[in-house]
Structure 1
């Protein structure tokens, strides 16, 4: 199968996820600074989730750029990733509606962890399909961010039991790590 169809489908799903999240933003109840300040936690969690969707979109694009053919296993691995990403609007909304308390922040972290695991499965499926030392494996190298992120999500989930904002701080830190442009794939393509 041609990878363009997979990319187009995935882009569409990610666009819908972002649209659903933005529809959850509501204007302040009153035209006052205090009312605007009251909405800041909601805006922050939307921005965090938007950044995560953007990170996945960016890395998904780079990963598929090096993919050759697309097998049925890759299609299912991609759907698995999209499933966990599609829960971002739900877990984000629950965190907002509950007021950033323990269980919703913990579930948000679990959603982040499962999306990271699904991304790893998709990457591994693509690498296995290409064979050892294929373009994707060579471009990804050690992938310390990909390997370290799940551990940090688990740490954040643990810290959520101490205080939900500590967990949220770790989730934000992981997003910040991924915001640093990862040029491995671009460098690999330029060298090839």
Structure 2
């Protein structure tokens, strides 16, 4: 299979994920301003999840642009694993927003984010295996400090959510902010 088919399929799935998330936010029945405030937890959950899906879409795009050797069956399955975990974001987002960031929904949300990070890491490792340890892609990824920190922060977020769910949200937001800062590792490949 060509990488362009994999990218097109992945883009479609990610677009559907974003669409499902926004469809979870229903317009208020009342025309009073306070009814909009009742939507605030759902909207904040949506914003955080939209950012996460956008980060994955952006990094996925750059990663597959860097592939030179095509995709293997293991890369295809690994990509499907990533898409599986990404497809659970709308459920976790809706539950968290519907229940005002209570403990269990925040813990589930963190677990879904953690599994997304793990499945993305597996995909990166399989691509490096396919491209070679001395490939430009492998060199661009390097020791992947941001990826490792993300996993640590997700685990901390899940753990601290057992104390207060706000701590979990803080850790998840920190990871999103870390990845919003442009990551030039793979973009540099295009210039070399």
Instruction: Name structure 2 gaps, 5 residues minimum.
Output: none
User: 1:44 is matched with which residue?
Assistant: 44
Distance 1:58 1:77 in 2: 18
User: 2:145 is matched with which residue?
Assistant: 144
Distance 1:150 1:65 in 2: 24
Distance 2:148 2:100 in 1: 31
Shift of 1:99: 2.5
TM-score (norm 2): 0.96
Distance 1:61 1:75 in 2: 15
Partner secondary structure for residue 34 of structure 2:
helix
Instruction: Name structure 1 gaps, 5 residues minimum.
Output: none
Distance 1:170 1:3 in 2: 34
Distance 1:184 1:85 in 2: 23
Distance 1:187 1:134 in 2: 13
Distance 1:82 1:72 in 2: 15
Per-residue CA deviations over 1:131-178 (Å, capped at 9, x if unaligned) read: 111121111122211111010000001110111111111101110110
User: 2:34 is matched with which residue?
Assistant: 34
Indicate the RMSD between aligned Cα atoms, in angstroms.
0.9
Distance 1:117 1:127 in 2: 15
113-122 or 37-46: bigger deviation: 37-46
User: 1:55 is matched with which residue?
Assistant: 55
| Mapped contact 2:45–2:93 kept (Cα < 8 A) | yes
Distance 1:116 1:164 in 2: 20
Shift of 1:32: 2.0
Distance 1:88 1:74 in 2: 22
Per-residue CA deviations over 1:66-87 (Å, capped at 9, x if unaligned) read: 1121000000000000000000
| Mapped contact 2:92–2:112 kept (Cα < 8 A) | yes
| Mapped contact 2:66–2:189 kept (Cα < 8 A) | no
Partner secondary structure for residue 162 of structure 1:
coil
Partner secondary structure for residue 183 of structure 2:
coil
Distance 2:171 2:35 in 1: 27
Aligned pairs, how many?
A: 191
Shift of 1:97: 2.1
